[in-house]
Amino acid sequence: MIYLWLIPAVAIVSLILTAVLRRYALARRVVDVPNARSSHLVPIPTGGGVAIVIAFLLALPFLAWAKLATMPLLIAIGGAGGLVAVVGFIDDHGHVAARWRLLGHFFAAAWALFYLGGPPPILLFGWTLNLGWLGCVLATVYLVWMLNLYNFMDGIDGLACIEAISACLGACLLYWLNGFESQIWVPGLLAMAVVGFFFWNFPPARIFMGDAGSGFIGMVLGVVSIQAAWIAPQLLWAWLILLGVFIVDATFTLIRRLVRGDKVYEAHRSHAYQFASRRYRKHLPVTLVVGAINIGWLLPIAVCVTSFGVDGVLGLIIAYLPLVILALKFHAGEVEKSSPSVSDL
């Protein structure tokens, strides 16, 4: 296809912009200083995820012009993702009160759902359920949780990149196997935007993504997964399976901290991946194992759901059970004992 040039172009733009943003962050001292949530020892430039945002958003007009994606989807992603990125950018450079961040997140979610035509019917054990207004509420909460959990899980070098790349390319494979090739462009180009940034974020990271980038990716993935359910209901379950590592770790940790009465909005280092990085004293092994789980375990189950008729809920349970066991093994949500931060530097 004549539009294949978009694939390397997005990656190259992201790669170059990340280098520019790194110099900008160093000059303006926009750095991530180690705190209670950190898994590194020294200040690192942050905000590099803006390169992902810009590279991806610049591609959207080409997708619209070439009719490679529907306008409602592009408006949903551009508006919701752009708002989340702006809020995150401001927070990266200063501070935005949690209530105002959350208000912006809910507004972005509502924007996306409006242009998607609301939440799709859900396929549950062979039954198609249209949840009406309750579905709107659940879908809004889902989108807000997706962008926030992605922020929470962006805590060690390369992890958020590996998750986005493997999930998006896995979804592209599912679309291709099931005759939905026209849907490949959005997740495929998001993966390429992340690939460009990943060059700079590969352990040991030379720049961090920041809230602008992680929140943007989480929102886009959430929007694309909901849109996928309008194409074929089983695709929503496939997306939830592909994103299982992040969903299970973040949700399991949040629930444990809520039950214990912790202030969940405060910084912490009690996610399973953080405990694992401290145990192995390196970020790279944890990041690579997450990629291996995504490709070797979650993707085959997602293929079974979309191509071989396995029920989506059953596939989700099978996929998540070992992830819950891993979360328990690595103490997700437990009170952290005093231990030093981990650095690959």
127: in domain: yes
Q: What is the pLDDT along the chain (345 residues), one digit of tens a residue?
A: 667 889 999 999 999 999 999 999 999 888 887 766 666 777 889 999 999 999 999 999 999 999 999 999 999 999 999 999 999 999 888 788 888 999 999 999 999 999 999 999 988 887 888 888 899 999 999 999 999 999 999 989 999 999 999 999 999 999 999 999 999 999 999 999 999 999 999 999 999 999 999 999 999 999 999 999 999 999 999 999 999 999 999 999 999 999 988 877 777 889 999 999 999 989 999 999 999 999 999 999 999 999 999 999 999 999 999 999 999 999 998 987 755 555 554
237: in domain: no
CA distance 217 to 31: 21
What is the full DSSP assignment across 197-212?
HHHHHSSSPSS--HHH
Report pLDDT for 149: 96
For the chain, the residue count is 345
CA distance 322 to 318: 8
Residue 179 backbone dihedrals phi, psi, to 5 degrees: 80, 20
298: in domain: no
Q: Give how many domains the chain has, as a whole number.
A: 1
Burial label for 47, CB within 10 Å (0-12, 13-18, 19+), is buried
pTM, to two decimals = 0.94
Report pLDDT for 35: 66
122: in domain: yes
Residues 37, 200, 291, CA angle at the centre, nearest 5°?
70
Handedness of CA 316, 258, 86, 107 (dihedral sign): positive
Scanning the chain, the segments in alpha helix (DSSP H) are 6-28, 49-65, 71-93, 98-116, 132-153, 159-177, 185-201, 210-231, 233-242, 244-260, 272-280, 284-293, 299-307, 312-329
CA distance 299 to 244: 10
Residue 145 φ/ψ region, left for φ over 0, alpha for ψ in the -120 to 50 degree band, beta for the rest? alpha
Question: What SS3 state is found at 123?
Answer: strand
Q: Is the bond into 204 cis (omega within 30 degrees of 0)?
A: yes
294: in domain: no
Residue 101 sits in which domain range? 2-232
Closest CA to 333 of 262, 247, 281, 243: 262
CB 338: neighbour CB atoms within 10 A? 4
306: in domain: no
CA distance 161 to 237: 22
Residues 164, 167, 173, CA angle at the centre, nearest 5°?
135
Residue 89 backbone dihedrals phi, psi, to 5 degrees: -65, -45
24: in domain: yes
91: in domain: yes
